[in-house]
């Protein structure tokens, strides 16, 4: 099956810093989503982005499908950005395969 | 807004007990999912349902069963709970089969089996 690797596994930032999270996947996909899990466990969908670039406020994401990777950019980070960021992919259905996540801690 | 509600946030059960985890969604979604989340392993799919009474095994179905008698409700059943099933369980739903549907998650159920 498809392998999903996320890097870095952990990231510590000071408020205001920018960061880039990476997701590599081992096969072609037509469904790729980024999620944020807050410290209380709630998973929120950030982007559906099987290809191209999208932006939502301070967050943006780019997927280069031909090279099998996706990037999540967080600009001017805030303490509320803390949590775990997951990338999830699927080749042809809604049954997503998740990476192991990047844990982000933002300090004031 | 879509709401996915998991009935129990925290449970402690004894080894061998039968455990029911209930999930309800209020947006008429066809697809419903049960994942478990463990440190270092991310989320792993246990079972998936794309319609009432329909189910498919995910990556780790052993020791679990599911029930979907109504479209809005998807239940995860641990027939005989074991300590290695201590985990966080996440229910999710999405609109219908086919790529591109945003998936919505419940808040999670933390299960401890002692």
Contact between B99 and A31 using a beta-carbon 8 Å cutoff? yes
B27 or B96, greater pLDDT:
B27
Contact between B103 and A45 using a beta-carbon 8 Å cutoff? yes
Contact between B45 and A92 using a beta-carbon 8 Å cutoff? no
Q: What angle do CA A8, A41, A28 make, to 5 degrees?
A: 50
Please report the pLDDT score of residue B99 as a whole number. Answer: 54
Chain A within 8 Å of B58 (Cβ-Cβ)? yes
Peptide linkage before B78 cis (omega within 30 of 0) = no
Chain B within 8 Å of A107 (Cβ-Cβ)? no
Average of per-residue pLDDT across B49-55: 91
Residues of chain A positioned with their CB less than 8 A from the CB of B110: 41
| Tens-digit pLDDT profile for residues A33-89 | 999 999 888 999 999 999 999 999 999 999 999 999 999 999 999 999 999 999 999
Please report the pLDDT score of residue B100 as a whole number. Answer: 65
Average of per-residue pLDDT across B85-110: 87
In terms of Cα–Cα distance, which of B38, B31, B52, B41 is closest to A94? B31
């Amino acid at each position: 099956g498809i392998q999903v690797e996320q890097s870095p596994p952990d990231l510590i930032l000071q408020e205001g810093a920018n960061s880039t999270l990476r997701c590599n996947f081992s096969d072609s996909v037509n469904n790729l989503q980024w999620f944020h899990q807050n410290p209380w466990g709630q998973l929120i969908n950030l982007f559906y982005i099987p290809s191209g670039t999208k932006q939502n406020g301070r967050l943006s994401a780019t997927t280069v499908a031909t090279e099998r990777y996706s990037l999540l950019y967080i600009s001017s980070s805030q303490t509320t950005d803390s949590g775990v960021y997951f990338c999830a992919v699927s080749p042809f259905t809604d049954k997503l395969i998740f990476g192991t996540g990047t844990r982000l801690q933002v300090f004031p | 807004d879509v709401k996915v509600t998991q009935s129990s946030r925290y449970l402690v059960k004894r080894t061998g007990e039968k455990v029911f985890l209930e999930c309800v969604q209020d947006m008429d979604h066809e697809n419903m999912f049960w994942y478990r989340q463990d440190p270092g392993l991310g989320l792993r799919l246990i079972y998936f349902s794309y319609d009432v009474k329909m189910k498919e095994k995910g990556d780790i179905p052993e020791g679990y069963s599911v029930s979907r008698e109504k479209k809005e409700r998807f239940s995860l059943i641990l027939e005989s709970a074991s300590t290695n099933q201590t985990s966080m369980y996440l229910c999710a739903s999405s609109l219908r089969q086919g790529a591109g549907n945003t998936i919505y998650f419940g808040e999670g159920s933390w299960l401890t089996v002692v």
